[in-house]
Amino acid sequence: MTVTTPSLSISPEKVCFFVVKAREFDVKDVVTNPDSGSNPTDDAMLAVLEDHPDDPTYQELRSFIGALNEDEQIDLVALTWLGRGDGTIDEWDDLRREAARADRSLHPLVSIRTTPARVPSCTMAVSDEVRPPTDEELADWKKKDAHYAKMILKMSGAHALEGEPEFLALERTGSRPTLDANGIIGGFTGDGEKTVIPARATAKVSMRLVPNQHPDTIARLFEEHVKKLAPKTVELKVTRMHGGKPWMTSYDNPFVQAAGRAIERGFGRAPVFTREGGSIPVVSTFQEELGLPSVLFGVGLPDENAHAPNEKLDVANFHGGIISSALLYEEIAKR
């Protein structure tokens, strides 16, 4: 069998430089004391091996990737996936197409050392069911994605946005399923130290589902997968608590468009259409039983601590929401 060697935009020298520098992250550990002294002797040289945001190697790699042109960045991401086993050389063109849509910043690249070579079968089965966004949605999201990612990083204080690197941040937020660990308990958690081996551990997880996924199917896939991962010495019990079907109204639905016009009139600015995760299972029931689309639009801001202490609502947005809600009926009547 003859395998055609792809033509690369990035030079071998640049790839080698990246690999050598990225390997320096293999020894990095979590920061144990963010206030340690600048003199290495102040912290027994621990800071040298810790993953500080101002790490010189990190900054050097960040500048290196930023200086690459777009084609070089795409090649580097595709080579990264190829090297970790997420594709074969025969799939090179497909890898490059996915890399063109991916997050090509530093963090997803240097974090490959902890990325499994193959996506588990449970994840593959889950992903196969996901309904992709429309071309119109993707085109709109691409225009806003860089600003959105920057805003989320600023508001959350995170160093980077985790997730599937081949998808936009807006895709990961609204159109991709998630698996979240909401709480983990096990072993000795009090002050001080105890060399105790925990006999029991508990984790609470949740999954944000997207269109075409069914809660019973996803719960079964998850349970089957974690049981495969559990060692034979461990007794595993999975308790299903509750679930709801995902729901979505089409972007071009006339009622959604009417809501967009009402919000623009009420607030003086056109709304940005995005998908959002939430837990309102009755919405899908309304659509299934009544055969009518639901229209949801919120007036809260991301920093209002929804469902948290000191939750608040901007008064101007509250008033704008009242006006927009009234105008919505007028816009619907125009159909």
Number of domains in the chain: 3
Token code pair at residue 123:
């994840």
pLDDT at 35: 55
145 residue type, one letter: D
Final residue before a domain boundary, out of 189, 221, 243: 243
* pLDDT the model gives residue 2: 58
pLDDT digits (tens, 9 = 90+) for 45-65: 445 455 555 677 777 877 888
Are residues 110 and 61 part of one domain? Answer: yes
> For the whole model, what pTM was predicted?
0.58
pLDDT band at 117 (very low <50, low <70, confident <90, very high): very low
pLDDT score, position 162: 79
Residues 138, 145: Cα–Cα separation, whole Å: 10
Q: Decide if pLDDT at 154 tops 50.
A: yes
Q: For position 297, which CATH number holds?
A: 1.10.150
Helical residues (DSSP H) of 176-249, grouped into ranges:
215-229
Look at residues 69, 89, 118 and tell me which one is the last residue of a structural domain.
118
Please write the tens of the pLDDT for every residue from 1-40: 555 677 888 888 888 888 877 776 655 554 555 555 544 4
3-state secondary structure of 164: coil
pLDDT exceeds 90 at position 322: yes
H helix intervals, the chain: 12-23, 56-67, 70-83, 92-101, 106-110, 121-128, 135-156, 169-174, 215-229, 254-267, 282-290, 315-333
121 pLDDT more than 50: no
- Which of 219, 243, 267 is the last residue before a domain boundary? 243
Domain ranges, residue 323: 254-333
Mean pLDDT of the chain: 79
Query: What pLDDT was estimated at residue 166?
Result: 80
231 and 322 co-located in one domain: no
